[in-house]
Copies of this chain bind each other. A is one copy, B any other.
Amino acid sequence: MATYTPPIDDIAFLLNDVLGFDDLMQALPGHEEVNAELAISVLEEGGKFCAGILEPINRSGDEEGSRLENGVVSTPKGFAEAYKAFVEAGWGGLSGNVEFGGQGLPRVMQILLDEMLSSANLSFGLFPGLTRGAVEAIEHHASEELKATYLPKMISGEWTGAMALTESSAGTDLGLLTTRAEPVGDGSFKIKGNKIFISSGDQDFGGNIIHLVLARLPDAPKGVKGISLFLVPKFLVNEDGSLGARNGMSVGSLEHKMGIHAQPTCVMNYDGAVGWIVGEPGRGLNAMFTMMNAERLFVGIQGLGIAEAANQKAAHYARERLQGRSADGSRGPVPIIEHPDVRKMLLTGRSFIDGARALAIWTAMQMDLASRHPDAEERRKADGMVALMTPVVKAAFTDFGFETAVISQQVFGGHGFIREWGMEQFVRDARITQIYEGTNGVQAMDLVGRKLTMEDGALAERFFAMVRADLNQAKATVPTIANATGEALERLETASKALLASRADLAAAGSAATDYLRLFALVSFGWMWTRMAAATQDKDNALARRKQAVAQFFADKMLPQTIGLAASIANGSRSIMALDADLF
């Protein structure tokens, strides 16, 4: 079985030849010293860690799973050691704030590390991923005292983080949650309630576990306006920073899941646990969305990472597996990669992966821009692009990521269904990414209902104009992909105008949402394929030939989907809303 190869050459190509990483870093105070060379050398080391330490415990972790015995969680063999090595090597604090001991490197590098973590071991990657989400919420909303107490050890990774939002009757609709927070009088609160689906809710790595818990203050109004956010540590922290008494919280059970078995996804009981408020009373959702937006991008990257790993293994298998005759019948058995339908499956995955990675880096560059550019207007514009792209990255990357895992498994035929080959784990693990941190249907509603309507549609128009300009520039040199993407962009703009015009009609928005998000993503990938094709059109090396061929495939075989999506959107909501609920 092939092992995972970190896609360093592809990353270098994107940073150097397609997306102008060095120029951006030059323009960002604090990042002037960062360039592609540095980024690549760091990511090469990160890739070695992922391939050498994390991938080898991915399947064994799935088989063994996390366990709960007598209230104590055990992660699978090798996880605690790997986590210790991860922290010691400094990977936890890569993009962390230097003020609290982080290395302050750009988001671009972080998401590329996240991709490799997700390729190698999705369950493991959730520990640092959730810690970083919690760090962002604390950094942006907590008191100086909380920051000083918790951030250094969370950024180093010595302590991990968890987000405790969902309750059994309050998932998408957090306004229904019932966990309560009672003020003690000394600035702290007693938290009482039960939460479910808490990823990284406990572990056996040592250190502390910092839960960010959504709860209601006494007399808080109903609905989302009555929700506040609380920092609730597993161990209370002494004045000198050492760990004190166990807090009043416990793991009720571990969820029995389809995938990510190594992840201890917890049912948590808070029985008067001591907590401290993060942000203003009643503004818990606001603080939560700071971490949630970071997590949504992270989850999108998970979809990309799993797809890369699955596609690599499928391509390797397809080169080795001998079965059937060549197309002209003259040779056989031949490697199945000679068969057109196998090639099509591999190219479908590859054309998503490379387009998505480029788009992810572009989005992360906008995040770096938004947090560091000296010009406030530039920051505002970049922030808008990140807001627009967040639901697209979360939902499209995980939908295409799951589809890529499935077709990569299909390349293996019957062997793909057998656990030993590892392909079915990709499918089971990838499935959660379409669900958690807001289901993909919720992402699509966010895109249509909130993001498309931002600035009265001007934000989306700015994005489309930028894409159009790039396509026009590339038309002469790479006409196939530029023109096919241009036609798809027209479909997207038409759909956008129609949805903006009928924005008061929530049934129309909801009926179009998932089609619209997929259309939006395909255009965005096409934009990136146009730029990748343009960057390689005068070259003749292996990477250039690969990009040219896959760009052509994306134009010929993937972009046609946009025609059907546009037609479906144009057909409106009548057929979706007509049927009585009891007749389904």
Contacts and interface: CB of A to CB of B under 8 A. Distances in A.
Given A555-B575, A584-B346, A341 B428 contact: no
A66 interface: no
A419 interface: yes
A376 interface: no
User: This chain: how many copies in the complex?
Assistant: 2
Contact of A341 (B416, B431, B445, B578): B445
A323 B175 CA distance: 9
Contacts of A445: 341
A453 interface: no
A409 B513 CA distance: 19
Interface string A490-533: 00000000000000001101110110000000000000000000
Interface stretch (A41-49, A241-249, A332-340, A460-468): A332-340
A545 interface: yes
- State which size class the interface on A falls in: 35 or more
A171 B549 CA distance: 30
B552 A575 contact: yes
A417 interface: yes
Contacts of A345: 441
Contact of A560 (B197, B339, B564, B581): B564
Given A257-B418, A414-B436, 6 more contacts: A173-B322, A176-B322, A255-B418, A319-B581, A410-B435, A550-B579
A385 B259 CA distance: 42
Contact of A258 (B324, B427, B556, B564): B427
A545 B172 contact: no
A562 interface: yes
21 contacts: A197-B414, A256-B419, A257-B417, A257-B418, A258-B418, A340-B506, A341-B441, A341-B511, A341-B513, A344-B576, A406-B431, A410-B439, A413-B439, A414-B436, A542-B583, A552-B575, A553-B575, A556-B572, A560-B568, A561-B568, A563-B567
